[in-house]
Each structure stands twice: as structure tokens, then as C-alpha cells.
Amino acid sequence: MPLYEYMCEDCDKEFEELVFGDPAVLCPHCGSARTDKLMSRCRHKRGGASEPVGAATAASSGSGSSCSGCAASSCAGCR
């Protein structure tokens, strides 16, 4: 089933929508019809949690921090 990611131009919220055909997609947060389809991020499932492909964890990267751009010392605080 086609599940797409969108961003609302009015409230800047991202959301997913199951779309059949080419209907106007309304924002579930504010009801605006000004929405843009986003490029989906490829995800895979690892250890019961879905993570973006290429996401490094503290255990797999060997460094003291978790994923890039994160200041946490472990991923436990991110979930």
C-alpha cells in the first residue's frame, strides 16, 4: 500500500498518509491543503526498533557518542 510522507506548508508538521490515486492530502494537524510530498527515508528494522539506514549507534561506531549530530552518550534517551 502506498504510504507517503508529507510536510505541511502552514504548520511545518511532517506526517504520513496512505494515498490511493492522486487526491488532495490535508494536514491532520491543522487541516491545510498546502502539503508537499517528501522523499521517504529508507528505514530498516534492527533489534525491534526501526532506524534510518546508515544510523550509527554507540555500540557499532566504537565512539563515545551515539549517532552523528547527537550529544547523548547512548541511544536510550532518544527513544
Whole-number pLDDT of residue 14: 94
Grid coordinates of 17: 498518509
Instruction: Please tell me the distance from the alpha carbon of residue 38 to that of residue 23, in angstroms, as a whole number.
Output: 16
What is the reported pLDDT for 21? Answer: 81
pTM: 0.49
Give pLDDT, residue 62.
Answer: 47
Q: What is the mean pLDDT of each run of 10 residues along the chain (79 residues)?
A: 89 92 90 90 62 49 52 59
How far, in Å, CA of 42 to CA of 40, rounded?
6
For residues 67 and 58, is the Cβ–Cβ distance under 8 A?
no
